[in-house]
Structure 1
């Protein structure tokens, strides 16, 4: 009997000892299991930012932590946990996530609007979405528009009252907002509308934002050109000036200086005028052209090509000096002035320069001129026209490959082909040109190498009487 009592007592002691060790561990496991379950529950609801761990002091209390994307998400997580029957208390230690950098990209193609970035809250997002539906219709992509904390001051105000309002009438626009910087790029129908848009965007800078604007008028002329032709009697202008008022003033100046013998039908107005364009035309070019025998002027954007003839070398030098304001205003200038008292020498120098830089290309074994040589031939024709009164000898040369007689014939045929081109397409009078075929009789290099033979296959221009 006594032995049985001892055994029972020992068993009871063992059970009590086991409970003493197990209960604290079990008590610790219950809150951990609850926290794990709650964490899984939040993640299933898409709140992957949220973390949950047991709160000290109570097995059914949890501590919510993490970086919430916005205040609405933070409150939604707290409310969700409080709705669970097995949670007695929620301690919220979450911190709102601040978006850095805070951005928004607005893209508009004249038909569809897309927003990608952030506004302060779900309420702001709803208001912007409502405004967009009202002004742009349902053809808008707002899937990437999110709510997030950290918006700079006046962020939504500028979107509502300036950006969306000014984008609507444009053919296209792209706006990038990054912190206190806004880059606005867009296209408008006219230069006048571009100026009005720039003015409408000024409230952005008044709110201490840095604004970069790139507005392209669709009526802008590219490249911006003007061609002036003067033959000593008649003046012709073909190209652009900025507006009707400028054109009227220029026409009045031309009539006063050159009389009524001027062709201005092709003078037009268009946006995109380079700086100092009209000033240089009225104060430099027209003044410089008037006393010349002839002149041809091409202005392309900020590039000036001026070719003209004067009576004397002194006048030519004075003209070059008179055109210096173009270079001073940032224009790239090319001036070719021929003095008639030195025309032959200047003309020969120009022929040599052109034919040293490039070679007239013919068909293999024939006299057909390749189209790639048309630009060179036109430059040769322009030079020939400006040294009027001279006779030009065009001579053809070959390498020593093949029959000598055939080479003489081929060189003569090629010289005549060049003469024909200069007459038919370049406007050089036939009586001012002679041709000869030299074959391989006047080589410039050794015919033993391909490089030497290539150099010997050539056309030469010689101005007679120098």
Structure 2
């Protein structure tokens, strides 16, 4: 029997072990590298944040933070399905942190746009980043991090918020647990209106908690209105879209037939204590009393200039602007008055009747100079009693009652027309006024009152002034037609004597009238 002598052959195992180690390394190394490549490829890219894996033989260890609660299991199953993988160790897998409240924000300052806060996954982050880069000339920096939480509405809110920020010069949009808050300011009025229009019509899925957008600052804050040739133009600024729209309605009421050009922009900067609606409405009311003019306030300084159709209208405007609304102070007023009407021509001497002429003895011939000296001037009473020579005065003289009836017939079914809100007589009424002048010239006795009346639109003082100015304009026409001025008077009653209801346009049209009243 051979003796067991390991010392004679044990040393021969060392080279064999070395050969086995070398051979195993040459086989295992490529296998692990191959498994690492295929396992990484099998792992979805949007499944884990900072995903990593390590391979030992055919065993794979995973690490990273999953975006969703089922992310770790999905990752294990994906790698385990890789051919050659024997075991997957998920011990280093976690979930991304949870955020309460869930907040995402975007800040713009000029061209700089910064994203911050939380996003739920790479897809949401990419969408929000693309929306930020869509802002023209934006320089975008993204510092958002992955976190779980209440992300309902983030996609819609975030895209909408970035669209609004694109209209602002600076601002902040913040999403917090499903609700959106936007604050900021715009660079011009057009951008402000676009922004407010967008905020007024939210896309589906957007929940707006608060919006505070400031219009650009106007310094000084100026409002201006001018009226001429049947047109009204509004320029300068209004403090809000609602204020501008309300003023447009006021302008339409005060100037119903005017062509209105509303060029008001939207701006902030109205001085504290100034009520825009009251100040602008007051300015338009005074402008209505002028034939042409311009009124404005710059910050708190109120001014008005223009031309009045009658002295009474100028007096009414000057009296009103002496006490402007609270917050405004009168800076300047320049109202041009019309020239006084021309003096009436002297009345011709009374002509004798045929009977008087036959009964009177012939007067001795006298030189022309003596005739002029001997002829007495007609008395005021005689001049008042005789109509002025005029081609309109055809027909026999009329007594008081006949005169009144003649005026009534001429004005039945028609009326003297004026420019809207003014005392300028329309040329369409020339024929009617000529007929009225013809009757006035035939009135043998009595005083004629021309009275003006308005509807109830506007203030009482303004209506009285306008009605008086219109009556004076008719008096001026009659004087130019040859009616003695001392037989005429003008009165303005405003809206105090309506003949129809002011609740309808038809009734208001009937109340806007001129009346003739003949008195002994």
TM-score greater than 0.5 by the shorter chain:
no
Whose helix fraction is larger, Structure 1's or Structure 2's? 1
The bucket for the TM-score relative to the shorter chain is 0.3 to 0.5
Task: Kindly name which structure, 1 or 2, has the bigger radius of gyration based on alpha carbons.
Answer: 2
- After TM superposition, the score normalised by the length of structure 1 is 0.37
